[in-house]
Structure formats: structure tokens, C-alpha cells
Amino acid sequence: MADKKETADAAPKKKGKIKKILIGGVALLVLVGGGVGAGVYASNAGLLGGGHAAVDDGKPKLVPKSEQKHPTEGEGGGHGGDEAAPENHGMKPPAGEGGDKYASTYYPMEKEFTSNLQDSAHFVQVGIAVATPYDDTVITNLKTNDIAVRSAILMALGDTTEEQVMSSDGKRQLQVRLAKAINDTLKQKEGFGGIGNVYFTSFVVQ
């Protein structure tokens, strides 16, 4: 009788131990699976190396001020930080204190531009430099399409009136129109604009 009682007491104890082991194993699998899932998500989100965010799509990239080159390192001019994003065609977006977050590359275009003014006997001769907050790809595209860009600039100058070139406001409006003309040409040729502002390095009306 005593043997039968001991056997009956041992059976529930074995079942209890097996239950605990099974619960522990399931909990371990859940933890491991959760960790693997989190790792896969972080990798795909670009939080870890090798994620989709690191894929280069071939488009120009904005250059943070912290990564800007020294003027002697870059081809085509120095870097600054007071430019707008290119799609604004020269109009600055709202910026926090301390200036814009992206650096600017300046590139002076070769040769001055001369054009008759609209409905006037006078003509205008201007030197132009452009600025971009993107990497050197934009300047390379500008050089590659120099003839098309120069043509667009001359057409924009030809649509300018004498009154516009005689006032500061008119000149600022002309800067915006020239930036748009350049960006439109680059978009047509390369699929991307990238010019933030246009500056006059010389301006003569005769």
C-alpha cells in the first residue's frame, strides 16, 4: 500500500516539473524570436548597417555643414551656409537660429551674359554665380549642360524689362527667374535641378 501511495505522489510532481520546463522553453523562444524580429526591423529601417537607407539612388545628396569641404578641396568654389533648397528657386525656407543646416557650394559661370532688354534700346551684361546645397553632382550636371543652361539664361534676360534692372527688387526677381530657368533646364536634361540661388558677380546696363 505504501508503494502505491509513493508512486501516486511522484506522478503529479513529474507533471509539474515538465510543465515548468515547457513554459520556460516557450518563454525563451518568444524572447529570442522578438530579438531577431527587432534586429531585422532595425536593419531594414537603416538603424543598423546594411539597411535600405544606405542604398545609393544616384541622386544628388544634401551636404550638412558638418561635412562641408574646405574651399581648396572642392572644385568650383567655396562653401557657405545661407542658401535655400533648390526647388524654392532662390526663395529661402524657414530656418532656425544660426543659419541653414546645409552647406552651399558656389560656382561662378564662365563668361558674362549679354542681352537686349525687352522693349528697350538698352542691353544688360551680367556675370553670374550659382549656389547649391547639394553635392558636386549638381555642378557636374551644370557643366555638362553648359550650352543649354546658357541659352536658358539668355532667354530669361531677354524677357527682362529696363525697369526691372534699374531697381533692387527687380534684380532680386531676376535672380529667382534665372534660378528657375537653370533648374528647369537641368531637370529636363538630368532629371534633377539643385540650384538654390543665383548671384550677380557683375551687372552693367548700357
What digits encode the pLDDT tens for the residues 168-198? 999 999 999 999 999 999 999 999 999 999 9
- What does the buried/exposed string (b/e) look like for 135-148 if buried means 16 or more CB atoms within 10 Å of the residue's CB? bbbbbebbeebeee
Contact 196, 87 (CB under 8 A): no
**Could you tell me the sign of the dihedral formed by the alpha carbons of 88, 92, 94, 97, in that order?**
positive
Higher-pLDDT residue of 33, 66: 66
d(CA 146, CA 1): 106
Is the pLDDT assigned to residue 107 strictly greater than 50? Answer: yes
pTM confidence score? 0.62
Which helix or strand (DSSP H or E) is residue 45 part of? none
Q: Is residue 205 over pLDDT 50? A: yes
| Percent of the chain's residues with pLDDT above 70 | 57
% of the chain beyond a pLDDT of 90: 52
pLDDT on residue 68:
72
For 5, phi then psi, to 5°, come to -65, -40
Tell the residue number behind the cell numbers 538603424, with chain if given.
Answer: 47
Residue type, 194: G
Is the pLDDT at 8 greater than 60, yes or no?
no
Three cell numbers written together for 39: 534586429
What is each CA distance from 53 to 21, 33, 57, 63, 92, in whole angstroms? 42, 24, 10, 16, 28
Identify the residue with better confidence: 44 or 17: 17
The grid coordinates of residue 90 equal 532662390
Q: How far apart are CA 16 and CA 12, in angstroms?
A: 6
Least confident of 28-42, 47-61, 185-199: 28-42
Judge contact between 167 and 158, C-beta under 8 A.
Answer: no
Mean of all residue pLDDT scores within the chain: 77
